[in-house]
Structure 1
Amino acid sequence: MARKTVANHGNWNSPITQDLVTSKTKKLTSPRVSRTTGRAYFVESRDNGAMAVVEVVRGEVKEVLPAEYAAGNTVYNYGGGTLDALRDGRIIFSNAEDNTVKILDPDTGKVTDVTGDPVLRYSDFSANDKSDWVLAIQEDHTIDNPEGTKNFIVAIHTETKEVKRILQGADFYYPAEFSHDGTKIACIEWNHPYMPWYGAKLYWASFDAGTVTNMTLIGGGLLDGVAEPHWGPDGTLFFCKETANYRQIFRLTPGCKSAQQVTLRGLETAEFGELPYFNATSKVVAIDLDTGSWQSIAPEDDVSQIQYDRMTRLSDTSVVGIFSGHLSPETVRIISINDPSSSKVVRKSVDHGISDKWIARPEALSIRASVTAPARDIHGFLWLPKNPEYVADADALPPLIIVTHGGPTGHYGPGLMFRTQYFTSRGYAVFFLNYHGSTGHGRAYRQALWGNWGIIDADDTAEVAHHLVSAGLVRAGAVGCTGLSAGGYNTLQSVSRHPDAFAGAVDVSGICDLDSFNAGTHKLEYNYTDALAISELNMSEADKKKRYAERSALYHVNQVAAPLLILHGKCDTVVPMNQATDMEEALKRRGKDVALVKVDHDGHMLDKPTSAKIWLDEEEKWWRKTLL
C-alpha cells in the first residue's frame, strides 16, 4: 500500500477539477415517453448551457433538436416543464430564446412554429393520446408586475394552432394532465397569499374538442396539501395528500365519489408525490395495489435522490428517470420493476472516470438543539474528507462548510454531487442542512418556519456548527456557511445572529432586506415573505416593517464578524441586485471584510457553466482565506 502524503486539510490535490464540476457535468431533466409510440426523450445541457432534446433509442442516446434551438422557458420565473411527446412521436416544446411553442420531428430535425407572443410564456405540456390537443400552462405578462401577471391552463391544437384558455381565475396552476383515453383532465390550482403545499386544490374535468365541463373538486384547501395527480390506464386518478403529518398516496377509481388512501405498512412516515422522500432520502418503490405490499427496487448507491419532474412510466414493467445515489451522480436510468438487477444506465451527467475511492459517502444526522430554544431535532447530511493519497496530521480536524438550500421550502438529499466532492477530496467536511422549514420530514417540521423565517433556520445553522465542533468532528474556529437564494438569506441571518459561530461566509443571490425584497419580487413569491416572517393576524404596516427590519441582516451589520463574500447575477429577476450592493455598502461603511462579485449574463441560479466556474473558484479562494 502506497504511503499517503501528510498535508493540511484544504491543501490536498484531487482529480475532481473545477472543469469537471462546472463545464463537464451535464444538467439532466424532463424524461418523457409517448404512450402511443413508446419513444422516450429527455432534456440535457449542451456545453454552452443551452438545453437540448435527446432521444433514447435501444438503450443509446442521440440529440434530436437542431443546435439553433434550445428547450426552456421562464414560466413562474424559474421555468417549468419544457416538452412532451405527441401521439405520433413528434415533440412539442417551449423554445428558450423567445418563449414560443414549437414542434420537432425527431426523425428529420424539422422544427415548425405553433404559437408565440412576446408577452406570453408556455410550459408543462401534456399531449392527448387520442387527438391533436395539448394542455399547457400559459403565463400572460401583458401587465408585467406581480398583480398584473396572469396564469391559465390552455389547450393547444397542434394542427390548426388554435390556443384556447380552458381554465382561468386562479392565481397559479400546476401542470394539467390528460387521462389515457383523452376524455378527462386533472389539474391543481392555488391562490395568493398561499403556497401550493398549503392551499392547493385538485380538480378533474371532462374534456372534448378543446372544452372542459363537469369541473369537480377532489380535495385540497388549507392544510390539506395535495400534489402530483396522475392517471392510471383504467381511468383511476392517483394523487398525494397530507394525512396528519405526512403526504400519502390516494386513488379515485372510476365511478367512486371519494378517494381512498393506499395504505402501505412501513411507509406511514414517508412523503410521496412532489415530496418523495423518507427523511429527505428518495426511494423508488413498486407497490402492489391489490395487497398493499411494496418493495424498494433500487439500491441507495444508485438512487437516493430524485428531484422534481424526473421519473415517468416507460412500459408496463419499467420506468425511466433521472436519479443520483450515494456513489452515482445524476444519471438517466431505466429501472425494471420485475428485475431491478437488470436496470440500465442510459446517460451519465458526467463521464468522470473517478474511482469510488475518491468519493465520500453521506451520513444522515439528526442533531438535538442544545444552544438555542426551542428543543428540537435538526436534520441533514454530513460528508467527511476523503482522499486516498492524502492525510492530515493525526490530531488535526477538518474545516467545515455548512450549505443551506433555497426555497426556503425545499430540501437537500444525499445524492452524489461533484461540487461537494470537490471540497471533501481537498480535505473539507461538508454538511447539507435541512433546516426547519424543509420538506421531507413531515408537515410539522416544514411549518415550523412559518412566522420564524430568519430565526429558527439561522439558529439551526449555528446549532450544527456547535454540535460538530463539540463532537470533535471538525475544527473549532474553522466553520463557514453558504447558500443560494433563501440559503443566501440564511447565510446572512446566521452570521448576523451568531457572529461567533462562523469564520467565513459566502452569500449567493441572497436577501439582506425583506422589505425591499418583498416589494420587488415576482408573482410566484409575492406575499410569501409575509407568510414566512409574520405569524400574527392583521399586523399593521408599521409593525410589519419593524418585523422585516428585525429579520434583515442589512440592519444588523454591526454584529457581523465573519468575512463575507457575495456573488450575484446581474440579470437576477428573483432577488434584485440591490440586495447584494446594499449589503456590501453597509458592511464597507463599518470597515467589515466583504467582497462582491457581480456575475455577467446570468440570473438567479448562476447555473451557466461560466457562472458556475466563477462561483466555485471564488468560493474556494474565500474558504482558503477564512477557514484554512
Structure 2
Amino acid sequence: MSDERWRSAPAAVDVARAGVSYDWLASIGGRLYWVESSPDAGRDAVVTWSAGSVAVLPGDGVGSGLHAYGGMPFAVLPSGEVVRVCDESGQLTGAVTVSATAHDYGDLTWSGVELLGVREDASGDDLVGVEMSSGRLRVLEATDGFLASPRVSGERLAWVRWDRGVMPWDSSEVWAAGYMPDEQLVGPVRVAGGPDESAFQPQWGVDGWLYFMSDRSGWWNLYRWRDGRTEPVALVEAECATAPWESGYANYAMLPDGRIVMTVQRGPVHELAVVSSGAMVRLPVPYTSIKPFLAVMGDRVAVIGSSPTRTQEIALVSADGSGRVEVVRPGADHRFADVSVPQLLQVESGGAQVTAVLYPPSGETGPAPMIVRPHAGPTYHSDLRLDGEVQFFTSRGFAVVDVDYRGSTGYGRTFRKALDGQWGRFDVADCRAVAEHLIEAGRAIPGAVFISGASAGGYTALRAACEEGPFAMAVARSAIVDPQRWTTTAPRFQRPHAAVLASPDSAVRADQVRRPVLLIHGVRDQIVPIGDTTALADGLRGRGLLVEMLTLENVGHYVSGTGLVAALEAELDAYRSVLKDAGLAVPG
C-alpha cells in the first residue's frame, strides 16, 4: 500500500473539527430554527434560516439538562424573540424574566398565550406556564415522576407522563385535559399508555384528533384519539418513533393537506414516508439516518439527515414523491479521503438474529485488524451515517463493525426488552458472535480483534474483557462499571434503566478481567461519575492489565474537541502496541 494513502488519512483533529451537529429543528412563522453545535464555535447556538439566508442568533449558549439528556431548549414568541434554556444554569433566559430556582428547564413551546415547558429538580417534574409580560409562573401539573411534551390546540392540552420507577420506552402515558390560561387543567384523562405500553409524542391534528406514538402492537406506530375512541393511523412492522432519550422528539409532522410525513426505521436504516388514508408511501431521500426532528414548511418537510457518505445536513424534502431535496445547511467539510462504505450483516446469536454494520478498511479486501463497537444506550441502535471516528480507523487499515445487540431499538418491543436482567451477558454474547463470524469469514485477523464502546457500550466492552473469547483488548470510554451502584449515582431519569437491565453479578471487578483495558473518562461526567472507573483502573494497574487511564479534564460524558483528539490517539496507539507485542502486522 502506498505512503500517499496514509498521508490522506484524517488526523484526530480533523475528526473533532468535523463534529458539527444539528438538533431541535422547528418551523415557525415561515422560518426554520435549530440548535447548532460546532467545535470551533465553542457553544451551542440557535440558528435560523429563511429564503436562503442563515443567521446565528446572538446570546449565551443554549442547552437543556432536563432528565439528564435534554428537552426542546428554545421557543420562538410571536414577536420573533426567542426564549432559551441556558446551557450553564438550566434556567430560562432571553425574552423572559423568571426568578431563578434549583430546576432544569426544557421542552419549551409557545401555547398561543403563554410559554409552556417542563422543569425538573430532585423531587420530580412540573409542567409550567409562564406569562411573558410579568414572568409569573404557574404549575399546571406536578409529579414525583416525569413529564414531557406539552402540546396545545385551542383550549386543549396534551402531555406525556411516566412514573419515577420506569423508563419512558418501557411504560409511559399520553394525557389530555381542558386548558385555559390562569386556570387549572380541566378533566384530565389518560389517552394511551400503561405498564406494558410506551406512548408519547402527542400532536393535535387540524381534524380535531390527538395523534401519538404507541408500541401496543409491538412496534412504535402512529395512532389517534378523540372523545374516548382510539384507532391506528398506519400499522407497519417497523419503528416509527425513536426511544425518547430527550423530551420533545418529532418523528412525524402534519402536512397542510392532511397527510402525515414520518420516519420509518428498520434496524439501522431510516426512511421517510407519507401516510394518507392509512396507506404509506416511501419518499425518496439521499439519507439513511434521519434525526427525530421533522418540521413542515409549506408543502415540504424539513429533515436533519445523513448517510454513509454524507455528513449531517438540514434539507427541505418535497412531499410529492419527486425526490426534490434543497439543502438548507450543508454538513461539515469532513475531508475524509477514500470513505469506507458499510455493509449490513445478519448474524445468529443465542437464537436471535443480530444486525451488524461492517466498515472494511479503506481500499482493502482481505482480513484485517478489527474493532467491534457495541453502541451506547443500550436502548439505542447503530447509526448508518458518516462517522468520523470510524473513518479515522478504517483509513489506517482497521475494519470497524457496529453491533445492534439484543436490547437495541429498531427491531420492536420484544427485541428491545430482551436485555432486561441480562446486561453484560446477551450484549457481550452478540458482539462475540459477530466477531467470530467475521473471523471465520476471513474478514478479521485472529488475535487482532478489539472491542471498544462508550457509556453503556463501554460497559459491554469491559464485560467482554472478563471472558475468554476473540477480543485482544477492550477500550472503555465514559463507561458504566457497576450497574447496581449506578442505580444510586446515575441521574434520576436513568436509575430505573440500570435497575431493570442489571443482574446481581453485573459489576465489573478488576480480579475478573482477563484482557488489557484502556480506560478513558471525563472528570466532569455527570451521567457516569468517574469514581468507579478510577477504582477499576487502580485494580487493573496492580494486575498489569491497565493499558492507560486517560483522564480528561473539563470533559463530561460526551467526549469532543481536544478530548476526542486525545481519546482517538490513545486508542490507536493501544491497538498498535497490542499488535506489535503479538508479532502481528501493524497497519498504516
Q: Is the TM value for this pair above 0.5? A: yes
- Equivalent AA in structure 1 for residue 146 of structure 2: F
Correspondence list, 1:461-610, <5 A? 461-497=431-467, 499-534=468-503, 547=504, 550-554=505-509, 557-607=510-560, 609-610=561-562
- Equivalent AA in structure 2 for residue 186 of structure 1: A
Correspondence list, 1:299-310, <5 A? 299=285, 302-308=286-292, 310=293
Length-normalised TM-score, structure 1: 0.85
Distance (Å, rounded) in 1 between the aligned partners of 2:548 and 2:275: 52
Q: Aligned pair 1:99/2:96, yes or no?
A: no
Q: Aligned pair 1:342/2:314, yes or no?
A: no
Which structure features the higher share of strand residues? Answer: 2
Q: Aligned pair 1:380/2:356, yes or no?
A: yes
1:170–1:189 CA contact under 8 A, matched in 2: no
Cα distance, 1:362 vs structure 2: 1.9
Provide structure 2 residue ranges, at least 5 long, that are not aligned to the other structure. Answer: 244-263, 580-585
1:170–1:190 CA contact under 8 A, matched in 2: no
Q: Structure 1 199/465 Cα, relative in aligned 2: closer, same or farther at 3 Å?
A: same
**Alignment RMSD (CA, Å):** 2.0
Corresponding position of 1:612: 564
Distance (Å, rounded) in 1 between the aligned partners of 2:552 and 2:22: 24
Distance (Å, rounded) in 1 between the aligned partners of 2:242 and 2:186: 27
1:538-594: CA deviation from partner (whole Å, max 9, x where unpaired): xxxxxxxxx2xx22221xx34433321101110112111112111111111222243
Cα distance, 1:339 vs structure 2: 5.2
Distance (Å, rounded) in 2 between the aligned partners of 1:459 and 1:149: 38
Cα distance, 1:54 vs structure 2: 0.8
Corresponding position of 2:257: none
Correspondence list, 1:288-437, <5 A? 288=276, 290=277, 292-299=278-285, 302-308=286-292, 310-315=293-298, 317-338=299-320, 340-352=322-334, 354=336, 358-369=338-349, 374-387=350-363, 391=364, 396-437=366-407
Q: Aligned pair 1:117/2:117, yes or no?
A: no
- Equivalent AA in structure 2 for residue 137 of structure 1: V
2:291–2:303 CA contact under 8 A, matched in 1: no
Cα distance, 1:210 vs structure 2: 4.0
Moved more, 334-343 or 402-411: 334-343
Cα distance, 1:83 vs structure 2: 1.1
- Equivalent AA in structure 1 for residue 275 of structure 2: I
Distance (Å, rounded) in 2 between the aligned partners of 1:138 and 1:96: 14
Cα distance, 1:410 vs structure 2: 1.1
1:299-353: CA deviation from partner (whole Å, max 9, x where unpaired): 3xx2111234x222222x1111211123211111111112543211111231235
1:565–1:595 CA contact under 8 A, matched in 2: yes
- Equivalent AA in structure 2 for residue 491 of structure 1: A
- Equivalent AA in structure 2 for residue 422 of structure 1: F
Distance (Å, rounded) in 1 between the aligned partners of 2:463 and 2:331: 34
Q: Aligned pair 1:200/2:172, yes or no?
A: yes
Distance (Å, rounded) in 1 between the aligned partners of 2:267 and 2:497: 25
1:30–1:43 CA contact under 8 A, matched in 2: yes
2:525–2:557 CA contact under 8 A, matched in 1: yes
Corresponding position of 2:259: none
Corresponding position of 2:260: none
Moved more, 21-30 or 481-490: 21-30
1:53–1:64 CA contact under 8 A, matched in 2: yes
- Equivalent AA in structure 1 for residue 291 of structure 2: Q
Distance (Å, rounded) in 1 between the aligned partners of 2:573 and 2:310: 28
- Equivalent AA in structure 2 for residue 5 of structure 1: S
Write out the 4+ residue segments of structure 1 that deviate beyond 6 Å after TM superposition. none
Which one of the candidate residues 246, 263, 282 is aligned to 2:219? Answer: 246
1:329–1:350 CA contact under 8 A, matched in 2: yes
Corresponding position of 1:228: 201
2:23–2:36 CA contact under 8 A, matched in 1: yes
Distance (Å, rounded) in 2 between the aligned partners of 1:232 and 1:441: 28
2:356–2:434 CA contact under 8 A, matched in 1: no
Cα distance, 1:6 vs structure 2: 8.1
The residue matched to 1:273 in structure 2 has which SS?
A: coil
The residue matched to 1:152 in structure 2 has which SS?
A: strand
Corresponding position of 1:5: 2
Length-normalised TM-score, structure 2: 0.90
Moved more, 557-566 or 243-252: 557-566
1:495–1:501 CA contact under 8 A, matched in 2: no
Cα distance, 1:113 vs structure 2: 4.0
- Equivalent AA in structure 2 for residue 283 of structure 1: E
- Equivalent AA in structure 1 for residue 267 of structure 2: N
1:149–1:523 CA contact under 8 A, matched in 2: no
- Equivalent AA in structure 1 for residue 289 of structure 2: Q
Cα distance, 1:382 vs structure 2: 1.1
Q: Structure 1 436/30 Cα, relative in aligned 2: closer, same or farther at 3 Å?
A: same
Corresponding position of 2:65: 74
1:13–1:426 CA contact under 8 A, matched in 2: no
Q: Aligned pair 1:278/2:266, yes or no?
A: yes
Q: Structure 1 353/496 Cα, relative in aligned 2: closer, same or farther at 3 Å?
A: closer
Q: Structure 1 210/51 Cα, relative in aligned 2: closer, same or farther at 3 Å?
A: farther
- Equivalent AA in structure 1 for residue 214 of structure 2: K
Cα distance, 1:79 vs structure 2: 2.4
Q: Structure 1 364/116 Cα, relative in aligned 2: closer, same or farther at 3 Å?
A: farther
- Equivalent AA in structure 1 for residue 120 of structure 2: E
- Equivalent AA in structure 1 for residue 125 of structure 2: N
Q: Aligned pair 1:126/2:96, yes or no?
A: no
1:240-269: CA deviation from partner (whole Å, max 9, x where unpaired): 11133212111124xx421101245xxx21
Distance (Å, rounded) in 1 between the aligned partners of 2:548 and 2:207: 59
Corresponding position of 2:118: 137
2:465–2:516 CA contact under 8 A, matched in 1: no
Distance (Å, rounded) in 2 between the aligned partners of 1:210 and 1:408: 42
1:280–1:441 CA contact under 8 A, matched in 2: no
Distance (Å, rounded) in 1 between the aligned partners of 2:380 and 2:44: 24
Q: Structure 1 242/113 Cα, relative in aligned 2: closer, same or farther at 3 Å?
A: closer
The residue matched to 2:444 in structure 1 has which SS?
A: coil
1:517–1:579 CA contact under 8 A, matched in 2: no
- Equivalent AA in structure 2 for residue 363 of structure 1: Q
Corresponding position of 2:233: 262
Corresponding position of 2:573: 621
1:75–1:121 CA contact under 8 A, matched in 2: yes
The residue matched to 2:228 in structure 1 has which SS?
A: coil
Distance (Å, rounded) in 1 between the aligned partners of 2:269 and 2:123: 36
Cα distance, 1:434 vs structure 2: 1.0
Corresponding position of 1:237: 210
Correspondence list, 1:137-176, <5 A? 137-140=118-121, 148-176=122-150
- Equivalent AA in structure 1 for residue 195 of structure 2: L
The total of aligned residue pairs comes to 558
Distance (Å, rounded) in 2 between the aligned partners of 1:434 and 1:473: 19
- Equivalent AA in structure 2 for residue 425 of structure 1: S
- Equivalent AA in structure 2 for residue 398 of structure 1: A
1:59-81: CA deviation from partner (whole Å, max 9, x where unpaired): 33121224xx1111222222222
Cα distance, 1:366 vs structure 2: 1.4
Corresponding position of 1:541: none
Higher RCO (CA-CA < 8 Å; seq separation 6+): 1
Corresponding position of 1:49: 42
Cα distance, 1:185 vs structure 2: 1.6
- Equivalent AA in structure 1 for residue 507 of structure 2: S
Which one of the candidate residues 53, 60, 71 is aligned to 2:53? Answer: 60
1:25–1:349 CA contact under 8 A, matched in 2: no
Cα distance, 1:447 vs structure 2: 0.7
